[in-house]
């Protein structure tokens, strides 16, 4: 990894620690149903662009990994779906996010959720240790998306699935857009055109790779929110 990639990750992490410190309320009610959000304690905030838990339909007993888990909202929703026999682990490289998510899990008395500091490009987990890998608006921020999808494939058990909500592009970002930190840290210019993004999942070994549109591109923009899903062959 080059020095500049390390520096970029540090900057992104500091940006999200600052965002967390400023965040006041939970989430976009257009993404999560109001009744779901009303059950969350103060301190649970979302920086997501979709609702991967609703889309992944997790089953009781499943082991779930959330890439870039932030303050933990998606992990808490998944924990309810997988029940006490299942487990949910969130991984994030921002220490303040891990601290906040862990405190939130305690407030919710959820014993089947834990959070661990780590980089999604080099996951700190054994091979084949999860049934579902989900993520909400994070892969776009990773400089090495091939590594992210290779790692997701490695830690999934055969037959396991990925469910990723993310920003996708309708054209490549320009050099200037990629160099614009607000656009990059805002989850836009670090992403890829849809075909390129899906191609990286296929290259990592996944099958059944598809995208469903969560929110259409707004007029004048080159991005939209998509729900990307794929399976590791059994």
Least distance CB 36 / ligand SAM (angstroms)? 14
CA 194, CA 212: separation in Å to the nearest integer?
11
CB of 211 closer than 8 Å to CB of 139: no
153 binds ligand SAM (CB under 6 A): no
214 binds ligand SAM (CB under 6 A): no
Which of the stretches 42-50, 168-176, 202-210, 213-221 binds ligand SAM when contact is defined by CB under 6 A?
Answer: 42-50
CB of 157 closer than 8 Å to CB of 45: no
Nearer to ligand SAM, 42 or 234 (CB): 42
56 binds ligand SAM (CB under 6 A): no
Structure-token pair, residue 137: 């608006």
Least distance CB 64 / ligand SAM (angstroms)? 13
Which of the stretches 8-16, 79-87, 123-131, 217-225 binds ligand SAM when contact is defined by CB under 6 A?
Answer: 8-16
CB of 166 closer than 8 Å to CB of 138: yes
Q: CA torsion sign, 31 to 34 to 40 to 42? A: positive
Binding mask 171-210 for ligand SAM (x = CB under 6 A): ----------------x-----------------------
CA dihedral 52, 67, 225, 11 (to 10 degrees): 150
Least distance CB 15 / ligand SAM (angstroms)? 8
Phi, psi of 149 (to 5 degrees): -75, -30
Structure-token pair, residue 193: 């055109």
What residues make contact with ligand SAM under the rule CB under 6 A? 9, 12-13, 16, 46-48, 68-70, 73-74, 92-94, 97, 119-121, 136-138, 141-142, 187
């Amino acid at each position: 990894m080059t020095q500049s990639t390390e520096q970029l990750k540090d900057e992104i992490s500091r940006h999200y620690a600052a965002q967390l410190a400023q965040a006041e309320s939970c989430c976009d009610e257009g993404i999560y149903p109001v009744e779901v959000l009303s059950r969350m304690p103060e301190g649970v905030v979302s920086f997501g662009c979709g609702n991967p838990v609703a889309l992944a339909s997790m089953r009781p007993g499943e082991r779930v990994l959330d890439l870039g888990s932030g303050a933990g909202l998606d992990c808490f929703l998944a924990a309810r779906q997988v029940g006490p026999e299942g487990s949910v682990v969130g991984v994030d490289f921002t220490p303040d996010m891990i601290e906040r998510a862990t405190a939130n899990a305690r407030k919710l008395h959820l014993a089947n959720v834990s959070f661990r500091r780590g980089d999604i490009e080099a996951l700190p987990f054994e091979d084949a240790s999860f049934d579902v890998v989900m993520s909400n608006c994070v892969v776009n921020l990773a400089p090495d998306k091939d590594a992210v999808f290779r790692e997701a494939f490695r830690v999934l058990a055969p037959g396991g699935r990925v469910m990723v909500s993310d920003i996708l592009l309708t054209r490549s970002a320009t050099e200037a857009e990629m160099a614009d930190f607000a656009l990059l840290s805002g989850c836009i210019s670090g992403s890829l055109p849809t075909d390129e993004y899906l191609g990286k999942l296929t290259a990592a070994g996944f099958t059944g790779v598809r995208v469903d549109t969560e929110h259409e591109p707004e007029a004048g923009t080159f991005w939209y929110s998509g729900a990307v899903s794929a399976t590791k062959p059994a």
